[in-house]
Structure 1
């Protein structure tokens, strides 16, 4: 033991330098590994979309609004895809993101526009120029406003219930997430504007949003009529989260699970039953 102490004492500088070199090398290796460009045909198959998403959950196939939007789009067009739950490291630091035949891309809308050109798809081909503009306005309303109402409701107002009932993480992990994630959500929501309102004002905004969407939908099959459009993919992505992945205490969820907005609930069920026929199977697999 004494000889070991003497050795450390006499060679402390060299040992410290070696530790720094080894640590730096490991860190550099990890960074290089993360940043290495994945090769189509080697790291992932050709002609198949690798869809990087959050893990599956027990009440909805994915708790990401824009993940549900993009996966619904892929399902509608029967584009072969493979889920990858390593959602970090995308080109825009956003989820979802994809890899496809050497292309790496983030942002659900840009991805959809890319595939529209790649496969010559146009879900809005039956719409007039004016109707396309209306559909786009509706989509942006939901994605830029209703989305933030739901984010604030889930992670700030009902954050504890969200962690406990939907993520079901252990107490210590929930406490850590609350400490690290909640302040970031509050700051982001304040910057967007939603976080500047009281909880009751946010609840009222959510109720108003959903009722106006119900009025807009009326007795139509889809938002713009009898045919599904890109806007329906976006609407399903946002509204499915309010209905199936938001705490029961949320007034918005209460509206979508009652008879008051039955046309909206039926609309969501219609898309789910048509394009997510494996919905229950997905949830069952998570619950095992």
Structure 2
């Protein structure tokens, strides 16, 4: 009866699940008196599931009401807290978006959320609130920012430069990100778990054992994702070879810019390709020591061109880095 009562108040997807239980599972179970305990357990589990979803829906509704009331023209960037010294953010995508805001002098607030994906329209972080709307995925965020603040979508790049930009995005977002996920969370779980307990738990304001539990779940999800992509099936030697090739490619792009006397990848003005590259390299440089399969990480640390590039970018756009990271569960505001 409870399920029939609550059904009309659910989202279509949730309602479909509940209706399937009502129409197919419950009749089968009630056909035998011996299934009383099973039926009770199922009802309890279903009730808990529905309550959890209803509470989550209420939180999202309240969050959206807040977003709708936010002042226009200010960008609200949401991600997990800043954890490490020496990088704006452990997640390169968050730095990619924040650095883009800084490059173009767009006022913003950086909000730290523990359960950010539950609010994100794409269930990923970072995401932004802009003029009362939520936008997920870092590249979609940047595309929306360009449109809102009258920045050319091509950022003035030639077709060849745009192709290089796309290549860098593919290397970082689709390849090296996956390689680093394997190196950090799969091959060096004890190192990363300790870092998360020591850094993430205090920043998030939760007990360390909770982070430890979450880490195990995240590691399993990472393994599944790597296996789906095919990278999980590479042996240790092969995946390190592929990762170091990607690092060498990034270094070659920077060295070519250096040879052309460019401050950044395509000239003396930074583009979103620079914000992405800076975000990735700076986060890797802040990693703790990784004893297992860390060849690509070490290659970045040893690369003079990439290290000099990071320092140039920070000098212009992150002179305040030592004062903003690490940071706890709060809001940081940055005006023009």
Please report how far the alpha carbon of residue 160 of structure 1 lies from its aligned counterpart in structure 2 after TM superposition: 1.6
Structure 1 residues 29 and 146 mapped into 2: Cα distance closer, same or farther (>3 Å)?
A: closer
Structure 1 residues not aligned, in runs of 5+: 1-15
Separation (CA, whole Å) in 2 of partners of 1:149 and 1:35: 33
1:207 CA displacement = 1.9
* 1:161 corresponds to which of 191, 196, 199: 191
Report how many residues are paired: 264
Q: Hey, what does 1:112 align to over in structure 2? A: 142
Structure 1 CA distance for aligned equivalents of residues 220 and 67 of structure 2? 39
Who is 2:245 aligned against? 208
How far 1:157 moved relative to its partner?
Answer: 1.0
Q: What corresponds to 1:78 in structure 2?
A: 105
Q: Distance in 2 between matches of 1:148 and 1:25?
A: 34
Change (3 A) 1:175 1:35: closer
TM-superposed deviation, 1:285? 4.9
Partner of 1:33: 58
Aligned with 1:243 (options 280, 285, 293): 285
Q: Taking structure 1 as the reference length, what is the TM-score of the superposition?
A: 0.81
Match of 2:274 among 226, 232, 246: 232
**SS at 1:113's partner residue?**
helix
- Higher relative contact order (Cα pairs below 8 Å, separated by 6+ residues): 2
Q: Is the 2:75–2:107 contact (alpha carbons within 8 Å) kept by the matching residues of 1?
A: yes
Q: Distance in 1 between matches of 2:95 and 2:317?
A: 11
Question: Structure 1 residue 198 and structure 2 residue 235: aligned?
Answer: yes
Contact 1:58–1:283 under 8 Å retained in 2: yes
Q: Relative to structure 1, is the Cα distance of residues 26 and 135 closer, same or farther in structure 2, using a 3 angstrom cutoff?
A: closer
Q: Give the direction of change, closer, same or farther, for the CA distance of 1:130–1:24 in structure 2 (3 Å limit).
A: closer
Residue aligned with 2:110, SS? strand
* 1:267 pairs with 2:267: no
For the 8 Å contact 2:169–2:273, the answer to whether it is kept is yes
Which stretch has the larger CA shift, 31-40 or 190-199?
31-40
Note the C-alpha offset of 1:54.
0.9
Shift of 1:216: 2.4
RMSD of the TM alignment (CA)?
A: 2.7
Query: Structure 1 CA distance, aligned partners of 2:54 and 2:223?
Result: 35
- Residues 31 and 49 (structure 1), Cα distance of their counterparts in 2 relative to 1, 3 Å cut: same
Of the three residues 246, 253, 256, the one matched with 2:297 is: 253
Structure 1 window deviating more from structure 2 (202-211 vs 171-180): it is 171-180
Distance, in Å, in 2 between the alignment partners of 1:143 and 1:25 is 35
The 8 Å contact of residues 124 and 229 in structure 1, kept in 2 or not, is answered as no
Q: How does 1:125-140 map to 2 (within 5 A)?
A: 125-140=155-170
Partner of 1:186: 223
**Distance between the aligned counterparts of 2:53 and 2:234, measured in 1?**
44
Q: Cα distance 1:226–1:94, how it changes in 2: closer, same or farther (>3 A)?
A: same
Query: TM-score normalised to the size of structure 2?
Result: 0.70
Equivalent residues of 2:84, 2:90 under 8 A apart: no
Which structure 1 residue ranges, 4+ long, deviate > 4 Å from structure 2? 22-29
Give the aligned partner of residue 3 of structure 1: none
